[in-house]
């Protein structure tokens, strides 16, 4: 479903993503774990066609990422920051972006989405008036309004409380059931443990570890400890970023 | 499907706009308000009022009660010794100008030397200074005219009286001439008679002759008296006219008007006439006649024996007398001709209006736009400036907002081309601009401006709306925040305004600035509108250029967004 090969991106002299290679199977939730500045968002921008890779290739659902028009059809992307019209309601936002994709029977699709994402009560409220958690959900709903084959979620739980976070996990599991492959970036270990089938740990643009939630446990008693140990090994060679 | 998407985009933008009170105010209220305020200002703006409202210092050093009646100036008396104060006050800006009447001003004028007022101007107030200067110059010119006209009118009155008397003199001279002819005929008859007379009858006839001679003598002395009187009178009249004319010449001919030459010529003619009259040898002839010893003719009847000698003597005397009378008649004729010539010339001169001698040429200003208000002249500029400012603000903000909210990214994610997306933005903004233009035009029409909504005007307005909106869009694509959009719009719009020829004509600017100014979007817009509204012409080429520039800016905008859909 997703093949990444030697993907590299440099900003001037700084390399944000450094020869990354990995692959994701269809229907997986694939975690990209890493501290701030690890290059998660940069990677996602490249995979969604928003950033030209400096070198390397990647194919998303069989589409080369430089073939942007085709790529648009198969991907959904919920960026790290909320991207919707604050002055439009949830339904209106979905309607508008759905129409851009030419979604058939848009009303039905919107109803499905607001139900699945628990936005029914607030569906006619202006987006700017929603709570943080609701906004994150709307952001995800907008990313899947056109039923993409692969969904990129960039830190979807950023800045929301634990209860809402758990509710969001359910939403994501629901999406998985729709056979949508999900690429999920986060710096919370618990999330990967709960959601992901497989993951990579990124640091300074490089893959530190490719693992499953189970295999990572051998590095420590808790997943936090394991993560810490893995990163510590890495810092032996290079000075660390702030985590 | 694509059209549906376009409609959705427009629909969405309209919804967003309506839910954003600030922008609605900007789109609808601001053009109304700005147009209203500027229209009110422009329709009541006048340099005349400005000149009438600013304080002008009045410094009369002459203290002869000279005043500028009829001046539309608000004068402020600065007292007696105000020479230095006046200048100081103008420099401090406490008065807009100061008029100084120098010492001896009135006297200099009445003595025919002329004098000059002094005018200090506060040149920082360009328009007011110009207005005051024009006003004072007009006053001085009027004053000059008044003084000149008074002098010449006075002279003309006297010359007219003189001329009337000259006419009478001519009549009298004609009579004298007539009388002289009678005398001549009588003398001729007498001479003929004498030639044919036989001496026997002579005695009787001598008596008759004696009587006739007496009559002739009496007549001649009357004529002599009359002629002497008239000669005296005419020459004194002419002599009195000469200095008078000289004085009016000195008074009114400082400006070398065309009338002056004529006046000078008149003076010469009159001087000549006067000389001729004085030199006329009339009196000599008359005296000769008077001196004729007529008594010698009165021979005693008893001395008939000497008659034949006497007869010969008489005949000889009569011949002399005839010649003298002939010369005398010729002289009278010459004088009549001379006087008639003078009379005609005087008539010609006095028929002239003194006003046109003093001011032979005047300027009759014809404005190209008759009877139009300042507001009308400013209307194209007003439409363009309001559209420019609001257009730039709204359209630059629209793009910045989309990019900042990340919605531009979402739109770019969807399978629609950016070019199409931006194009629909242009359409949306264009519709907004047209609404604004309509509001502006409506307000201007409420102020009584009759704007012809013809094809050219509508096309020009449409091109202008498009141009400004795309320009704003382009700004929005370059900058990163609402604030910098606002600032950039200002930084572009303000110089455009000052370089567009609205405030200063291009001719006043340095060549390079004028060149740049002529190429700016606002100038293009302004010139296209002015062509249609003020000059009743059409500048389709200008409209096409605006469309071309719009397309160029649109392509640049698309490129900028394509290169970087998000910040
Ligand atoms: N446009 C850019 N120009 C220069 N440097 C950039 C740019 N975008 C990202 N970077 C740098 O690339 C590195 C990776 O950034 P990225 O946003 O991918 O990190 P991240 O893993 O998403 O971090 P976070 O968890 O904070 O979101 C950072 O050090 C960042 O400063
Ligand atoms: Mg990130």
Full pLDDT tens readout for chain B, 567 residues: 556 888 889 999 999 889 888 888 888 888 899 889 988 888 877 767 777 788 888 888 888 777 777 677 888 888 878 888 888 888 888 888 898 888 888 888 878 788 888 888 888 888 788 888 888 888 888 888 888 888 888 888 888 888 888 888 888 888 888 888 888 888 888 888 777 766 666 667 667 777 777 777 777 777 777 777 777 777 777 777 777 777 767 766 665 655 666 667 767 777 776 776 666 555 566 666 555 555 555 555 555 566 667 677 777 877 888 888 888 788 888 888 888 888 888 888 788 887 777 777 777 777 666 567 788 888 999 999 999 999 999 999 999 988 888 898 899 889 888 899 999 999 999 999 999 999 999 999 998 888 888 999 999 999 999 999 999 999 999 998 889 999 999 999 999 999 998 888 888 888 999 999 999 999 999 999 999 888 888 999 999 999 999 999 999 999 998 887 776
From the CA of A32, the nearest ligand is 1
DSSP string, B350-385: HTS-HHHHHTS-------SSTT--HHHHHHHHHHHH
Contact A55, A6 (CB under 8 A): yes
Identify whether the C-beta of residue B369 lies closer than 8 Å to the C-beta of residue B377.
yes
CA A60 and chain centroid, separation: 14
Quote the minimal CA–CA distance from A242 to chain B in Å: 24
Nearest-angstrom CA–CA distance, A18 and A39 = 9
Q: What is the pLDDT of residue B139?
A: 83
Cα of A45 to nearest chain B Cα, Å: 11
| Contact between chains at A97 and B410 (C-beta distance less than 8 A) | yes
Whether the Cβ atoms of residue B342 and residue B165 lie closer than 8 Å to each other:
no
Residue B267 phi, psi (nearest 5): -60, -45
Pocket of ligand 1 (CB under 6 A): A 11, 14, 16, 34, 36-42, 80, 187
Span from the CA of B407 to the centroid of ligand 1 (angstroms): 20
Determine contact, residues B78/B85, Cβ cutoff 8 Å: yes
A203-221 pLDDT per residue, tens: 888 888 888 888 877 777 7
Digit-by-digit pLDDT tens for chain A (243 residues) are: 899 999 999 998 899 998 999 999 998 999 998 888 889 999 999 999 888 899 999 999 889 998 888 899 899 999 888 899 999 999 999 999 999 998 888 999 999 999 888 899 999 999 999 988 889 889 999 999 998 999 999 988 887 888 888 888 888 888 888 889 999 998 888 888 888 999 898 888 888 888 888 887 777 777 777 777 777 776 544 444 443
Q: What is the DSSP string of A89-134?
A: BHHHHHHHHHHHHT-TTHHHHHHHHHHHTT-STTTTSBGGGS-HHH
Write the DSSP assignment of B307-336 as a string of letters: HHHHHHHHHHHHHHHHHHHHHHHHHHHHHH
Question: Is A207 touching B (CB cutoff 8 A)?
Answer: no
| Contact check, Cβ <8 Å, B415/A73 | yes
Mutate to test the pocket of ligand 1, among A7, A11, A34, A46 (most ligand atoms within 8 A of CB): A11
The alpha carbon of A9 and the centre of ligand 1 are apart by a number of angstroms equal to 11
CB neighbours of residue B434 within 10 Å: 17
Q: How far is A217 from chain B (nearest CA, A)?
A: 38
Token digits of residue B523: 């100038």
Cα of A150 to ligand 2 centre, how many Å?
Answer: 19
Residue A241 corresponds to which tokens in the numbers above?
Answer: 């970023």
- HEC-encoded secondary structure of A186-214: ECCHHHHHHHCCEEEEEECCEEEEEECCC
Give, as one character, the DSSP assignment of residue A155.
S
CB distance B20–A79 less than 8 Å?
Answer: no
- CB contact A83 to B (< 8 Å): yes
Angle between the N-to-C axes of helices B30-43 and B374-404, in degrees from 0 to 180, rounded to the nearest 10:
160
Which protein residues have a CB closer than 5 Å to ligand 2 (ion)?
Answer: A 40-41, 80
The predicted pLDDT at position B469 comes to 95
Q: How many CB pairs under 8 A join A and B?
A: 63
Q: Is A159 on the interface with B (CB under 8 A)?
A: no
Q: Are A184 and A198 in contact (CB under 8 A)?
A: no
Of the candidates B433, B526, B514, the one whose C-alpha atom is nearest the C-alpha of residue B471 is B433
Judge whether B397 and B473 are in contact, CB under 8 Å.
no
By Cβ distance, the residue of B405, B411, B565 closest to A100 is B411
Q: For residue A87, what is the nearest residue in chain B, using CA coordinates? A: B16
Per the CB < 8 A criterion, the answer to whether B425 and B554 are in contact is: no
pTM here?
0.73
Is-contact A90 A123, C-beta < 8 A?
A: yes
Beta strand pairing call for A206-211 and A198-203: antiparallel
> Measured in Å, how far apart are chain A's first and last C-alpha atoms?
31
Can you tell me the distance from the alpha carbon of B284 to that of B44, in angstroms, rounded to the nearest whole number?
82
Residue A72's nearest CA partner among A97, A55, A41, A109 is: A97
Using DSSP, state whether A33 is helix, strand or coil: strand
Which pLDDT belongs to residue A236? 45
Average pLDDT value for chain A? 87
Q: How far is the CA of A16 from the centre of ligand 1 (A)?
A: 7
* Alpha carbon B89 to chain centroid, angstroms: 32
Going by alpha carbons, the residue nearest to atom 8 of ligand 1 is A42
Per the listing, tokens 């430089």 go with A66
**B314-340 b/e with 16+ CB inside 10 Å = b?**
beebbeebbebbeebbebbeebbebbe
Residue burial A110-120, b: 16+ Cβ < 10 Å; e: rest: bebbbebbbbe
Inspect the interface and report whether the beta carbons of B414 and A48 lie closer than 8 Å: no
């Amino acid at each position: 479903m997703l093949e990444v090969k030697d993907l590299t991106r440099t900003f001037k002299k700084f390399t944000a993503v450094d020869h990354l290679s990995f692959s994701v199977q269809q229907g997986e939730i694939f975690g990209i774990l890493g501290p701030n500045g690890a290059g998660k968002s940069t990677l996602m921008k490249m995979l969604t066609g928003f950033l030209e890779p400096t070198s390397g290739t990647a194919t998303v659902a069989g589409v080369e990422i430089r073939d942007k028009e085709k790529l648009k059809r198969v991907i959904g992307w919920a960026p790290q920051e909320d991207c919707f019209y604050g002055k439009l309601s949830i339904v209106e936002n979905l309607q508008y972006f759905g129409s851009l994709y030419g979604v058939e029977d848009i009303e039905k699709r919107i109803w499905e989405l607001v139900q699945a994402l628990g936005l029914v009560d607030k569906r006619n409220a202006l987006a700017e008036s929603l709570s943080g958690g609701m906004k994150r959900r709307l952001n995800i709903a907008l990313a899947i309004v056109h039923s993409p084959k692969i969904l990129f979620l960039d830190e979807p739980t950023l800045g929301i409380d634990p209860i809402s976070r758990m509710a969001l996990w359910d939403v994501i599991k629901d999406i998985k059931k729709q056979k949508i492959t999900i690429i999920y970036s986060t710096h919370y270990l618990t999330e990967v443990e709960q959601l992901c089938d497989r993951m990579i740990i990124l640091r300074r643009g490089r893959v530190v570890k490719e693992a499953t939630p189970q295999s990572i446990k051998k590095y420590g008693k808790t997943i936090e400890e394991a993560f810490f140990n893995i990163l510590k090994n890495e810092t032996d060679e290079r000075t660390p970023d702030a985590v | 499907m694509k059209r549906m998407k376009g409609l959705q985009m427009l629909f969405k933008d309209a919804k967003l706009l309506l839910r954003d009170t600030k922008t609605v105010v900007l789109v609808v209220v601001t053009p109304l308000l700005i147009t209203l305020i500027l229209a009110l200002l422009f329709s009541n703006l006048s340099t005349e009022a400005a000149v009438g409202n600013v304080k002008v210092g009045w410094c009369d050093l002459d203290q002869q009660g000279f005043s500028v009646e009829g001046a539309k100036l608000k004068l402020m008396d600065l007292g007696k010794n105000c020479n230095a104060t006046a200048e100081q006050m103008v420099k401090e800006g406490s008065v807009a100008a100061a008029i100084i009447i120098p010492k001896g001003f009135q006297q200099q004028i009445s003595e025919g030397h002329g004098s000059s007022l002094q005018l200090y101007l506060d040149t920082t107030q360009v328009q007011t200074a110009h207005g005051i200067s024009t006003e004072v110059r007009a006053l001085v010119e009027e004053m000059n005219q008044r003084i000149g006209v008074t002098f010449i009118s006075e002279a003309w009155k006297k010359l007219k009286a003189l001329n009337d008397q000259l006419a009478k003199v001519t009549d009298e001279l004609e009579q004298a001439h007539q009388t002289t002819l009678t005398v001549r005929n009588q003398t001729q008859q007498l001479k003929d008679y004498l030639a044919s007379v036989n001496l026997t009858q002579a005695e009787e006839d001598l008596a008759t002759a004696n009587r006739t001679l007496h009559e002739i003598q009496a007549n001649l002395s009357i004529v002599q008296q009359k002629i002497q009187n008239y000669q005296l009178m005419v020459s004194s009249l002419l002599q009195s006219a000469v200095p008078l004319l000289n004085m009016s010449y000195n008074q009114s001919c400082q400006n070398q008007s065309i009338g002056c030459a004529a006046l000078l010529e008149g003076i010469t003619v009159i001087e000549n006439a006067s000389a001729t009259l004085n030199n006329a040898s009339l009196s000599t002839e008359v005296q000769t006649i008077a001196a004729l010893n007529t008594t010698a003719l009165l021979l005693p009847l008893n001395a008939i024996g000497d008659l034949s000698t006497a007869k010969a003597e008489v005949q000889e005397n009569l011949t002399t007398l005839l010649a003298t009378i002939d010369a005398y008649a010729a002289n009278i004729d010459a004088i009549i001709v001379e006087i008639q010539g003078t009379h005609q010339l005087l008539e010609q001169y006095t028929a002239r209006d003194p006003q046109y001698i003093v001011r032979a040429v005047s300027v009759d200003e014809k404005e190209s736009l008759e009877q139009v208000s300042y507001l009308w002249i400013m209307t194209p500029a007003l439409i363009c400036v309001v559209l420019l400012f609001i257009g730039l603000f709204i359209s630059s903000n629209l793009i910045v907002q989309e990019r900042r909210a990340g919605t531009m990214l979402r739109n770019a994610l969807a399978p629609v081309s950016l070019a199409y997306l931006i194009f629909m933005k242009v359409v949306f903004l264009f519709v907004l601009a047209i609404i604004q233009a309509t509001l502006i035009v409506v307000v201007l029409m409420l102020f009584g401006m009759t704007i012809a909504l013809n094809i050219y005007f509508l096309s020009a307005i449409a091109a202008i709306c498009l141009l400004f909106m795309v320009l704003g869009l382009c700004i929005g694509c370059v900058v990163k925040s609402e604030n910098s959009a606002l600032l950039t719009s200002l930084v572009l719009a303000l110089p455009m305004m000052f370089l567009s020829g609205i405030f200063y004509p291009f001719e006043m600017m340095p060549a390079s600035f004028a060149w740049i100014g002529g190429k700016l979007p606002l100038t293009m817009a302004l010139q296209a509108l002015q062509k249609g509204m003020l000059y009743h012409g059409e500048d389709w080429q200008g409209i096409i250029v605006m469309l071309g520039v719009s397309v160029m800016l649109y392509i640049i905008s698309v490129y900028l967004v394509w290169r970087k859909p998000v910040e």
